[in-house]
């Protein structure tokens, strides 16, 4: 295969998967997919190896989906698939980590022979059970669980499956619409791939895919070869559910791989914050890729040289039937642990710890309001997304209210208010929340929410960094801890925990303060101009400027 064909083919694949993702976003019914991009999309060879991913999407979805497609092919080998077949699952251990994520896989055929596959994943708002949150005792309480099976057989929808799904969720219209959006985006990718094969005069993806994977693997191996070999340890304490958890990792750099082992990490929880291994592997490998070979394409070739292990029964390798609905609350903290190891390898290239876990509460009506015959219009469920600050970067401040490592965008106040009877009174940076340092951590934000008619409502929380804030590096200070409380008319504040379900009483406001990122370097070394600019912008207070920065 000549070099021109390889480059044209690679560029076309990137364009195809990005179009695939955009179709998913444009057609999705769930707000978190349309507005926040909580999805993934990619193209795979006949063996189930991911060749290219869309830029849009989260590492937790993309990297775990990269592993999932091989499991689909074990359950349904290519020899038994025909044009028009579409496969589906939301099994946390075969998909992307919890029941709300549905993965759809579509084989692409030329003359009755499969030439590749497209896969996509999106977060569907409701899957029945207790609803999205950390309070379940096992996966059976968390909603309906669909093993790898057919959504369409030779182009005909499986009506039994669809009836079963619609009968077990609170909003069947959204469920059905989201499954069609996943199918449609794969179909869009398939049509574009067939056009590409004709244009480039290719019979299939095998030769092109082999070159892509080999070059990606070789590029990663070259980056690994530049690192000092050895083992490096790091640990981080986080809030957990009822008690703190320890996340422990040992990162080992060998001649031809990077290995991450989470031995020593706290055991599984009785609540739904446990993490399936595939999700752990997704975010741990992403942590490596942030600083090692981050310009190398993310596919099966580059991912294959990063090996992630965790002992069975620890919280980052939970086995069925453990509850896993809020697995992101723990899984999204793992890049900080991996980066803590890599800071010892590349001390001038690693950021400080950040807020990490997105703050994505579920707001819903309280049953007392829903049962009131005069308040039926109060029934609602929304899942907005708010973010804290990232850690300071070497030579740069951290990013304020930015989703790292998830990459999930925040949902706008206008959309949240249009889809619920809630009003957002406040949404602004929290001054002094970024950890002080020569390079300052990113700021968190303060959000104030109230029911528009003064009624009660429910919040399901999956937050972290309320007890244990993001730590700084090299003399930088920790970011501020998060905080959640309710308050009426400026009166006494009632503090809430980081996780679990609470009722916001009638007439009360819910206030959420997301965590800030840690700083890097001695705060007294920060330039006077930077401190003055922060003070003028309201990023820091006068007391912070004098007491912490000595300016």
* All structural domains of the chain with their residue ranges: 3-216, 351-551
Angle, helices 334-342/277-289, rounded to nearest 10 degrees? 40
Contacts of 498 (CB under 8 A, 6+ apart): 239, 461, 463, 464, 465, 466, 467, 482, 484
462 by DSSP, 3-state: which? strand
Q: What's the confidence (pLDDT) of residue 370?
A: 44
Which pair of tokens denotes residue 373?
Answer: 């015959």
Q: What is the pLDDT of residue 340?
A: 98
pLDDT of residue 418: 94
Which helix (H) or strand (E) segment holds residue 25: the answer is helix 3-27
Helix axes 3-27, 172-199, angle to 10 degrees: 160
Q: Which residues are within 8 A (CB) of 247 and not within 5 positions of it... i.e. 6 or more apart?
A: 235, 236, 237, 238, 262, 265, 266, 316, 330, 333, 334, 337
Give the residue carrying structure tokens 């009877």. Answer: 421
Q: Are strands 494-495 and 306-309 parallel, antiparallel or unpaired?
A: unpaired
One pLDDT digit (tens) per residue for the chain, 551 residues:
899 999 999 999 999 999 999 999 999 999 889 888 999 999 999 999 999 999 988 999 999 999 999 999 999 999 999 999 999 999 999 999 999 999 999 999 999 999 999 999 999 989 999 989 999 999 999 999 999 999 999 999 999 999 999 999 999 999 999 999 999 999 999 999 999 999 999 999 999 999 999 999 999 999 999 999 999 999 999 999 999 999 999 999 999 999 999 999 999 999 999 999 999 999 999 999 999 999 999 999 999 999 999 999 999 999 999 999 999 999 999 999 999 999 999 999 999 999 999 999 999 998 754 444 344 456 898 999 999 999 999 999 999 999 999 999 888 999 999 999 999 999 999 999 999 999 999 999 999 999 999 999 999 999 999 999 999 999 999 999 999 999 998 889 999 999 999 999 999 999 999 999 999 999 999 999 999 999 999 999 999 999 999 88
Q: Report how far residue 189's alpha carbon sits from residue 492's, in angstroms, rounded to the nearest whole number.
A: 55
> Of the candidates 466, 470, 364, which has an alpha carbon nearest to the alpha carbon of residue 133?
364
For the chain, state the CA radius of gyration: 24
Q: CB-based contacts of 418: which residues, under 8 Å, 6+ apart? A: none
Global model pTM greater than 0.75: yes
* 487-416-41 Cα angle (round to 5): 130
SS3 at position 7 = helix
pLDDT of residue 490: 80
Distance (Å, rounded) from C-alpha 489 to C-alpha 152? 54
Strand segments, DSSP code E, in 270-338 are: 306-309
Structure tokens at 284: 């741990």
* 511 vs 168: CA distance, rounded Å: 33
- The pair of structure tokens assigned to 475 is 């003399």
Residue 379, pLDDT score: 84
Beta carbons of 153 and 85 less than 8 angstroms apart: yes
What pLDDT score was predicted for residue 375?
Answer: 45
Q: Phi and psi of 258, rounded to 5°? A: -120, 125
Residues in a beta bridge with 359: 386
């Amino acid at each position: 295969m000549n070099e021109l064909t390889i480059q044209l083919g690679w560029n076309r694949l990137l364009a195809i998967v990005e179009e695939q993702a955009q179709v998913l976003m444009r057609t999705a019914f769930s707000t978190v997919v349309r507005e926040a991009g909580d999805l993934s999309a990619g193209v795979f060879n006949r063996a189930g190896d991911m060749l290219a991913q869309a830029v849009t999407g989260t590492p937790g979805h993309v990297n775990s989906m990269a592993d999932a497609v091989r499991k689909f092919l074990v359950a349904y080998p290519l020899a038994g698939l025909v044009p028009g077949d579409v496969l589906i699952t939301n099994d946390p251990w075969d998909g992307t980590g919890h029941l709300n994520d549905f993965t759809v896989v579509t084989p692409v055929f030329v003359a009755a022979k499969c030439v590749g596959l497209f896969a996509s994943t999106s977060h569907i708002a409701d899957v029945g059970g207790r609803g999205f949150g950390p309070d379940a005792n096992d996966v059976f309480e968390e909603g309906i669980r669909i093993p790898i099976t057919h959504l369409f057989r030779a182009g005909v929808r499986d009506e039994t499956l669809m009836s079963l799904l619609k009968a077990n969720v609170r909003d069947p219209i959204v469920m059905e619409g989201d499954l069609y959006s996943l199918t449609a985006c794969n179909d869009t990718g398939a049509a574009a791939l067939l056009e590409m094969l004709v244009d480039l005069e290719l019979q299939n993806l095998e030769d092109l895919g082999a070159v892509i994977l080999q070059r990606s693997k070789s590029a990663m191996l070259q980056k690994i070869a530049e690192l000092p070999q050895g083992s490096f340890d790091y640990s981080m304490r986080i809030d957990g559910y009822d008690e703190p958890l320890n996340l422990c990792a040992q990162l080992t750099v060998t001649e031809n791989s990077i290995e991450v082992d989470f031995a020593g990490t706290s055991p599984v929880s009785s609540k739904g914050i446990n993490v399936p291994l595939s999700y752990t592997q997704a975010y741990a490998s992403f942590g490596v890729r942030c600083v090692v070979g981050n310009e190398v394409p993310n596919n099966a070739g580059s991912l294959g040289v990063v090996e992630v292990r965790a002992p069975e029964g620890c919280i980052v390798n939970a086995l069925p039937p453990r509850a896993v609905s809020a697995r992101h609350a723990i899984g999204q903290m793992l890049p900080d642990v991996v980066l803590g190891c890599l800071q010892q390898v590349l001390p001038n290239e690693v950021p400080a710890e950040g807020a990490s876990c997105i703050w994505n509460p579920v707001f819903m009506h309280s049953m007392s309001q829903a049962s009131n015959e005069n308040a039926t219009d109060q029934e609602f469920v929304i899942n907005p997304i708010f973010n804290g600050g990232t850690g300071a970067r070497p030579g740069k401040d951290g990013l304020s209210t930015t989703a790292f490592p998830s990459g999930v965008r925040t949902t706008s106040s206008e959309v949240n208010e249009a889809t619920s009877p809630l009003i957002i009174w406040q949404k602004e940076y929290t001054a002094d929340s970024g950890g002080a340092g020569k390079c300052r951590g990113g700021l968190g934000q303060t959000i104030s929410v109230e029911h528009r008619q003064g009624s009660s409502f429910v919040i399901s929380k999956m937050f972290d960094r309320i007890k244990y804030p993001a730590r700084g590096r090299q003399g930088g200070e920790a970011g501020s801890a998060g905080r959640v409380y309710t308050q009426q008319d400026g009166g006494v504040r009632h503090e809430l925990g980081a996780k679990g379900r609470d009722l916001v009483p009638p007439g009360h406001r819910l206030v959420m303060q997301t965590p800030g990122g840690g700083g890097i370097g001695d705060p007294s070394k920060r330039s006077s101009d930077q401190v003055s600019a922060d003070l003028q912008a309201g990023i820091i207070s006068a007391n912070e400027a004098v007491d912490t920065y000595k300016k």
